[in-house]
């Protein structure tokens, strides 16, 4: 498309178009159109289009030095090396790094410390083990060494889960950290916006239960077919009956136009880690033990002892297990989490979570793996190193 077309669209920015259409009596359609045109994805698409139409992407070449063309040589080749303003790549850190705690870093003073969530500009990936990067938040920041993706992945793979050495911890076990409480509060706060999945089970339907509301009641044959066809995100057996959460049940919630609140063990996140679901993963972790004791004084939780569900109050041992298990999970799966919240004061935590989810829904902006930016639905392996795309 040529410049004249691009500049003609410039004149028809949403506001001008909107007032023309409102004048013609298209008020509702106009609102929808303006909302659509203001979506970040569409805006980016239009700005890329304009850049291409105006050939903005071409580097500005420096002028040819005086006298070069007057030289007597038969053929003069002018080679210009131009470094564009384009950076090598931006990444968002998925783990915390402190060179002072890293005995392997070649030079602590030449390394860059960062926290989970920081945005870094990668300057060099030439070395397999140590990359060079600087912080984006800070214009004056110097580039320095950071562990490469490969190095960090190797380190994580070598980490032994702490739980293996702690016989009291029973992963995945009842955590009681408050995931259901937060889900329940989100649902009540906006039932038109949030939804939850209906699980499948092979046990008999009880009188007060409804098919498709409490559970999908299915035969063992159907359930096992679902397992074979990888239709379950998570499943297990309790008192001789299967229970599970299927991918289809997530589709059902999404088909109603709702955000699906899904509670899964971190090891199962990979099943929904696709461009189709684009999950936003929130890890709920317990506060320090003093705050746990204080906030959970009156709380009760369901635990499974000798195959029986018991409702009981938290013991000191439950608190310690909860903290240990959360630490193990965060070490092992921290790279999969978009947000970590510490569930201390429930009212404060709920407000924070709700505001965060609303911000994401409104802005329609989320960090995603770079491979999801291509059009076909893809599964991604979120590496424990970095995420490299931002949409
Ligand atoms: N921040 C909090 N302050 C006080 N009580 C809380 C808080 N968070 C959760 N609770 C209470 O702790 C108990 C266990 O919470 P909840 O059932 O939500 O845990 P859960 O993580 O979903 O556990 P499970 O995975 O075992 O189902 C409930 O009685 C809940 O009301």
121 in the same domain as 33: no
253 in the same domain as 217: yes
CA atoms in the 13 A half-sphere facing the CB of 152: 21
Q: Is 176 in the pocket of ligand 1 (CB under 6 A)?
A: yes
Give the C-alpha separation, 145 to 38, whole Å: 39
297 in the same domain as 207: no
To the nearest whole number, what is the mean pLDDT of the chain? 80
Q: Which of 182-186, 218-222, 266-270, 322-326 has the weakest average pLDDT? A: 266-270
* Angle between helix 3-11 and 40-53 (nearest 10): 140
Question: What is the pLDDT, as a whole number, of residue 154?
Answer: 82
Nearest CA to ligand 1 atom 20: 176
Task: For ligand 1, pick from 187, 294, 301 the residue to mutate: most ligand atoms within 8 Å of CB.
Answer: 301
CATH number of residue 132's parent domain: 2.30.30.40
**Ligand 1 atom showing the smallest separation from residue 177 Cα:** 21
130 in the same domain as 11: no
289 in the same domain as 167: yes
Asked whether residue 151 carries a pLDDT value surpassing 60, the answer given is yes
Give the C-alpha separation, 92 to 149, whole Å: 12
Nearest CA to ligand 1 atom 16: 178
**Ligand 1 atom showing the smallest separation from residue 182 Cα:** 18
What DSSP state is assigned to residue 94?
A: S
Instruction: Indicate whether this model's pTM tops 0.80.
Output: no
Contact 268, 234 (CB under 8 A): yes
Contact 287, 354 (CB under 8 A): no
Contact 187, 196 (CB under 8 A): yes
Question: Other C-beta atoms within 10 Å of 180: how many?
Answer: 16
pLDDT digits (tens, 9 = 90+) for 343-378: 999 999 999 999 999 988 887 677 777 777 665 556
Q: Is 300 in the pocket of ligand 1 (CB under 6 A)?
A: yes
154 in the same domain as 98: yes
215 in the same domain as 147: no
Q: Is 313 in the pocket of ligand 1 (CB under 6 A)?
A: no
Q: In degrees rounded to 5, what are phi and psi of residue 308?
A: -125, 140
Residue showing tokens 């889900």? 183
Task: For ligand 1, pick from 171, 172, 181 the residue to mutate: most ligand atoms within 8 Å of CB.
Answer: 181
Q: Is 180 in the pocket of ligand 1 (CB under 6 A)?
A: yes
Q: Which of 60-69, 151-160, 286-295, 372-381 has the weakest average pLDDT? A: 372-381
Q: How far is the CA of 296 from the centre of ligand 1 (A)?
A: 8
187 in the same domain as 204: no
**Domain membership of residue 206 as a residue range:** 196-257
- What are 143's two structure tokens? 């580039």
Give the C-alpha separation, 117 to 259, whole Å: 23
Q: Is 301 in the pocket of ligand 1 (CB under 6 A)?
A: yes
152 in the same domain as 294: no
- What are 177's two structure tokens? 């950290």
Contact 134, 112 (CB under 8 A): yes
The count of structural domains within the chain is 4
Stretch 177-193: mean pLDDT: 93
In a domain, 388, yes or no: no
314 in the same domain as 356: yes
CATH number of residue 247's parent domain: 3.30.63.10
More confident residue, 97 or 5: 97
CATH number of residue 346's parent domain: 3.40.50.300
Q: Is 287 in the pocket of ligand 1 (CB under 6 A)?
A: no
Stretch 188-194: mean pLDDT: 94
Q: Is 346 in the pocket of ligand 1 (CB under 6 A)?
A: yes
231 in the same domain as 183: no
Q: Is 320 in the pocket of ligand 1 (CB under 6 A)?
A: no
């Amino acid at each position: 498309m040529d410049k004249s077309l691009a500049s003609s669209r410039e004149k028809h920015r949403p506001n001008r178009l909107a007032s023309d259409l409102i004048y013609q009596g298209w008020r509702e359609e106009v609102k929808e159109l303006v909302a659509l045109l203001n979506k970040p994805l569409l805006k980016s698409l239009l700005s890329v289009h304009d850049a291409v139409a105006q050939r903005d992407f071409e580097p500005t070449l420096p002028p040819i030095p005086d006298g070069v063309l007057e030289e007597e040589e038969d053929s003069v080749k002018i080679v210009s090396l131009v470094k564009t303003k384009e950076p090598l790549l931006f990444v968002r850190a998925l783990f915390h790094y402190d060179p002072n705690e890293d005995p392997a870093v070649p030079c602590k003073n030449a390394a860059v410390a960062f926290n989970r969530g920081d945005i870094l500009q990668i300057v060099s990936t030439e070395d397999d083990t140590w990359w060079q990067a600087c912080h984006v938040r800070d214009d004056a920041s110097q580039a320095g060494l950071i562990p490469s993706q490969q190095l960090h992945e190797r380190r994580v793979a070598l980490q032994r889960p702490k739980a293996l050495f702690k016989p009291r911890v029973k992963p995945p076990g009842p955590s009681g950290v408050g995931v259901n409480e937060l889900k329940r509060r989100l649902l009540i706060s906006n039932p038109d916006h949030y939804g939850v999945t209906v699980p499948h089970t092979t046990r008999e339907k009880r009188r007060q239960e409804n098919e498709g509301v409490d559970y999908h009641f299915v035969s063992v044959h159907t359930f096992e077919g679902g397992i074979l066809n990888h239709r379950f995100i998570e499943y297990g057996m309790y008192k001789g009956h299967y229970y599970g959460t299927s991918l289809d049940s997530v589709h059902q919630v999404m088909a109603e136009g709702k955000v699906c609140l899904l509670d899964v063990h971190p090891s199962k996140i990979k099943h929904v880690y696709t461009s189709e679901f684009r999950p936003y993963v929130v890890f709920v972790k317990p506060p320090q033990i003093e705050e746990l004791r204080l906030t959970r004084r009156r709380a009760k939780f369901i635990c499974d002892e000798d195959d029986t569900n018991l409702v009981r109050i938290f013991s000191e041992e439950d608190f310690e297990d909860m903290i240990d298990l959360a630490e193990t999970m965060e070490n092992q799966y921290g790279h999969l989490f978009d947000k970590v919240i510490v569930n201390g004061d429930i009212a404060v935590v709920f407000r924070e979570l709700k505001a965060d989810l609303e911000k994401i829904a409104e802005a329609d902006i989320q960090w995603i793996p770079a491979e999801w930016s291509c059009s076909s639905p893809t599964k991604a392996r979120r590496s424990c190193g970095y995420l490299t795309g931002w949409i």
